[in-house]
Amino acid sequence: MSDQLRMSYDVVVVGGGAAGLSGALMLGRSRRRVVVIDSGAPRNAPAAGVHGFLSRDGMSPAELLATGRAEVRRYGGQVVDGEVAAAARDGEGFTVDLADGRSVRARRLLVTTGLTDELPDVPGLAARWGRDVVHCPYCHGWEVRDRAIGVLTSGPMSPHQALLFRQLSEDVTYFSHISPPPAGEEAEQLAARGIRVVTGAVAALEIADDRITGIRLRDGRVVPRQVVAVATRMTARAAFLGTLGLGPTAHPAGMGEHVATGPAGLTGVPGIWAAGNVTDLTAQVGAAAAAGALAGAAINADLVAEDTRQAVAAYREPFGAASEARMSDLAMGDRRHGVSP
């Protein structure tokens, strides 16, 4: 099937990760005209493999997406490379404009654009991201088990992150960096679990032979470490929704910004659903895929309801016209026979 954009679709899916492809798969299997528009910048691209996703554990992110694209196309869906620049209301549907000048119309939108991870401004972190700089114990923890792990403070959830990584290694050190060191119950918990706390601002990571060897503080101290765990600030990629009065809002847990949704991913704007990391900042690949499938089913049900309303209106119309014509004929016949209407 050609992946050239048509003029219009039942559903345009913006973002081609696990959530978007799962939503498109559900819609394609429901015989909907669906296209996935993907910019080709998946959040997990630096990772060697996807983990914790039943039957796909260890598969590379690229292979997972290639498999998903093939499955969507198998059911008549399209996957088109491109970046959505803007979306606007167009009658009962939407017009979606791409950065390259192309435009397409949709009856419904499914937003699965994911998020952007914002790392602390520490030299070396970004270059090692997804390798030996990690954030999620469930995504990467097994791969760094029993190694010397440093947890770099980046927000209120950092002490909890340290406790999670302590499950995977007995050698965990907590770096308070530019934040006050943990106090009260949090300090007691770290101490009870044997997690050392190092105070002082971190200057950079020490790298040798393409691996982390330590964390250097601004006062010159170097603490040997092999892995750095850090919680990022996560921001939904949804700026293009601003023209529709919808955009990222502060996440209630203080982790960043997300697109708020109700059941099955419906947003506050009728006709627009969102799924995956764009709305659930902590969702792993499996959870994102499940949310996309749920949203796809909800969108199809919404379209079925609309299609049925339109069919009922069309069904009634000829009967209404015929009834009026029949009444008119009867009235004319009565007049011809001298009967008053």
What pLDDT is recorded for position 336?
45
What pLDDT is recorded for position 23?
98
Rounded to an integer, what is the distance from CA 213 to the centroid of its chain?
A: 34
Where does residue 32 rank: exposed (0-12), middle (13-18), buried (19+ CB within 10 A)? buried
What pLDDT is recorded for position 339?
43
DSSP state of 200: B
DSSP string for 80-91: EE--EEEEEEET
The yes-or-no verdict on residue 162 having pLDDT over 50 is yes
Where does residue 213 rank: exposed (0-12), middle (13-18), buried (19+ CB within 10 A)? middle
Instruction: Give the tens place of pLDDT for each residue, 197-210.
Output: 999 999 999 999 99
CA-nearest of 117, 78, 81 to 99 is: 81
What pLDDT is recorded for position 324?
55
The Cα–Cα gap between 265 and 253 comes to: 19
At residue 309, φ and ψ (nearest 5 deg) are -60, -45
Q: Residue type for 25, please?
A: L
Label residue 254 by pLDDT band (50, 70, 90): confident
The Cα–Cα gap between 220 and 179 comes to: 18
Query: pLDDT > 70: what percent of the chain?
Result: 92
Instruction: Give the tens place of pLDDT for each residue, 287-330.
Output: 999 999 999 999 999 999 999 999 999 999 876 555 555 555 54
Label residue 103 by pLDDT band (50, 70, 90): very high
217, 200 Cβ separation under 8 angstroms: yes
Q: Where are the beta strands (DSSP E) in 137-254?
A: 149-152, 172-177, 196-199, 202-208, 211-217, 222-224, 227-230, 233-236, 249-250
Q: Could you state, in order of their start, the residue ranges of all structural domains in the chain?
A: 8-117+234-308, 120-230
- Do the domains at 8-117+234-308 and 120-230 have one common CATH topology? yes
Output the pTM of the full model: 0.89
Instruction: Give the tens place of pLDDT for each residue, 223-236.
Output: 999 999 999 999 99
Residue of higher predicted confidence among 3 and 85 = 85
Q: Does the domain formed by 8-117+234-308 have CATH 3.40.720.10?
A: no
192, 198 Cβ separation under 8 angstroms: no
DSSP state of 153: P
According to CATH, the topology of domain 120-230 is FAD/NAD(P)-binding domain (3.50.50)
The yes-or-no verdict on residue 213 having pLDDT over 60 is yes
